[in-house]
């Protein structure tokens, strides 16, 4: 947990799977027009912060088009009101937007991200107490 603590202290977002390792819930999977993505979700764990965001890292695992990982990263607002692109990788904005829309099309993802955000904040309180 010490690395988590130091990330909280430095204001770095922490990956959900780092705090709650579990093969079944580590990543979200996304099928998008023949491409397979793994989506890793990270959160700011500072209990005082009100950013209310998830940092989502979309990694294209199939097909692998280059040796370098094909990925992009966004800061996703947990109230569902959009996102900011953090790193768009090789994806153009249009494609990126379509992928994110597809990912969040049914409300279950948003609900799940909010639950995970809450779990992370609770855990942060434990760590810091
Ligand atoms: Zn924050």
pTM of the model: 0.92
Q: How far is the CA of 47 from the centre of ligand 1 (A)?
A: 8
Q: Could you give the C-alpha distances from 44 to 16, 38, 76, 77, in angstroms and in order?
A: 10, 20, 12, 12
The residue that leads in pLDDT, 6 or 67, is 6
Q: How far is the CA of 8 from the centre of ligand 1 (A)?
A: 10
Query: Model confidence over 26-35: pLDDT tens digits?
Result: 899 999 999 9
Q: Minimal CA–CA distance to 37: which of 68, 15, 17, 63?
A: 63
Query: Model confidence over 44-62: pLDDT tens digits?
Result: 999 888 899 999 999 999 9
Q: How far is the CA of 36 from the centre of ligand 1 (A)?
A: 29
pLDDT band at 24; cut points 50, 70, 90 = confident
What pLDDT score does 77 carry?
97
> Which residues share a beta bridge with 56?
41, 74
Phi, psi of 82 (to 5 degrees): 100, -170
What pLDDT score does 1 carry?
54
> Helix or strand or coil: residue 21?
coil
Q: How far is the CA of 43 from the centre of ligand 1 (A)?
A: 8
> Which residues share a beta bridge with 58?
39, 72
Q: How far is the CA of 50 from the centre of ligand 1 (A)?
A: 6
């Amino acid at each position: 947990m010490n690395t988590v603590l130091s990330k909280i202290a430095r204001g770095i977002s922490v990956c959900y799977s780092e705090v709650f390792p579990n093969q079944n819930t580590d990543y979200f999977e996304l099928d998008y027009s023949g491409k397979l993505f793994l989506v890793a979700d990270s959160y700011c764990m500072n209990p005082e912060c009100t950013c209310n965001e998830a940092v989502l890292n979309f990694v294209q695992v199939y097909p692998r088009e280059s040796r370098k990982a094909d990925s992009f990263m966004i800061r996703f607002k947990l109230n569902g009101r959009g996102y900011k692109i953090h790193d768009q990788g090789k994806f153009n904005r249009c494609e990126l937007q379509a992928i994110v829309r597809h990912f969040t099309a049914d409300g279950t993802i948003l609900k799940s991200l909010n639950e995970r955000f809450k779990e992370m904040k609770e855990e942060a309180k434990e760590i810091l107490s």
